[in-house]
């Protein structure tokens, strides 16, 4: 009888300790993540971001036209291997987000903090920073050399590109469209079709 009582007492302790431990760990992780996000929002500014435009000039930076041929690229980029078919380097290498560099914000006004918070709530990413990044932003080519040297036929049939979206941030959607236009041979793109999958957010 005493043994049964001890086992029952031990079981009750386990049932109490395990959920309590899980709850404490969850709260600590949540608090740690909150501190990390607050720290990111208040760190040093890089890429010369103008915090006074509130992301209004998403088209401020001029884009680059796609290459027409390897011969043209030899003239435009004498220091690059023409066989790799890279896009031209960005015209503003210090622009927000160019070549995948992080955009960090500091000294935010209360109004800007509200905009940052709203962007996170609507999209689960920093829409405020996304709106600062050029629509023609470039990223480093991370493909293996074998993929970079791949050759394609010139007489491929033209195609339509279909992009489905739901409540997408405009800067992300427009950057997707411009990425297709900037990086595709013009004769291969017939049209770009945007399909709004029942978005219900007002822009």
pLDDT in tens, 107-153: 889 999 999 999 999 889 889 998 898 888 888 888 898 888 888 88
Give residue 4's pLDDT.
Answer: 58
Give residue 37's pLDDT.
Answer: 62
Give residue 81's pLDDT.
Answer: 42
Q: What parts of the chain have a pLDDT lower than 70? A: 1-6, 35-91, 202-203
One DSSP character per residue, the chain reads -HHHHHHHHHHHHHHHHHHHHHHHHHHHHHHHHHHHHHHHHTS---TT--TTSTT--TT-S---PPP--HHHHHHH-TTS-GGG-PPPPPSSTTSTTGGG------S--HHHHHHHHHHHHHHSS-HHHHHHS-TT------S-HHHHT----S-PPPEEEEEEESS--HHHHHHHHHHHHHHS-GGGEEEEEEEE-S-----
Q: Quick one: what percent of the chain has pLDDT higher than 70?
A: 67
């Amino acid at each position: 009888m005493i043994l049964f009582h001890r086992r029952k007492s031990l079981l009750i302790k386990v049932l109490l300790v395990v959920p309590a431990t899980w709850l404490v760990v969850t709260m600590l992780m949540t608090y740690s993540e909150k501190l990390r996000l607050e720290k990111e929002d208040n760190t040093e500014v890089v890429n010369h971001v103008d915090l006074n435009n509130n992301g209004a000039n998403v088209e401020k930076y001029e884009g680059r036209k796609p290459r027409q041929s390897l011969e043209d690229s030899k003239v435009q980029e004498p220091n690059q291997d023409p066989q790799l078919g890279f896009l031209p380097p960005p015209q503003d290498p210090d622009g927000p987000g160019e070549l995948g560099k992080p955009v960090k914000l500091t000294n935010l006004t209360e109004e800007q903090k509200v905009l940052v918070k709203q962007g996170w709530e609507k999209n689960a990413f920093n829409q405020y920073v996304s709106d600062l990044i050029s629509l023609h932003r470039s990223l480093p080519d991370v493909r293996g050399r074998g993929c970079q040297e791949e050759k394609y036929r010139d007489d491929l049939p033209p195609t339509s590109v279909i992009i489905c979206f739901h409540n997408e941030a405009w800067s992300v959607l427009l950057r997707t469209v411009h990425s297709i236009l900037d990086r595709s041979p013009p004769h291969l793109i017939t049209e770009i079709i945007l399909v709004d999958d029942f978005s219900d957010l007002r822009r």
